[in-house]
Amino acid sequence: MRKILIFILIFIIYFFYSSYMLKKDVEESILAIDKVKVCGKYLGIKSVPGPTRGGSTDYISFKNDDGSVSNFLHIPRYQDKLFDLNQIYANDRICYYYSLKYTIENNNYFVSQIDILKN
């Protein structure tokens, strides 16, 4: 019984620590002054299968003006407060911003702003 309680306590500590670190990393990325601006087309949200028992991971996908494709981790609880992806449609011309200095969850960059360009 004691081992189970220790395991549960460790899990709870890990959960709160990882939540705190994610929030800190996102806030640093949002407040960064050295953001990169890239323009192109919005491709939508793409799901990539996760590990065998884990769920899929969603990425916001863009086709840049130089022809390359960029994918950024989609974290709705933070990004929904910054921009509304429901207002952006596939192939809309956009510019997006992210910081090269700050990354989140396994070295993924975080899109902190999207501007829709008028054609």
Please choose, from the candidates 34, 98, 30, the residue with its C-alpha nearest in 3D space to the C-alpha of residue 64: 98
Q: What is the pTM of this model?
A: 0.77
Beta pairing partners, 87: none
Q: How many distinct structural domains can be found in the chain?
A: 1
pLDDT in tens, 38-94: 999 999 988 888 766 667 788 899 999 999 999 988 888 888 888 888 888 889 999
Q: CATH number for the domain including 90?
A: 2.40.50
The string of DSSP codes covering 33-64 is SSEEEEEEEEEEEEEE--SSSS--EEEEEEEE
pLDDT in tens, 30-51: 888 889 999 999 999 888 887 6
Domain extent at residue 92: 2-116
Q: Which residue has the tokens 């207002």?
A: 87
Secondary structure element (H or E) that encloses residue 3, with its range: helix 2-31
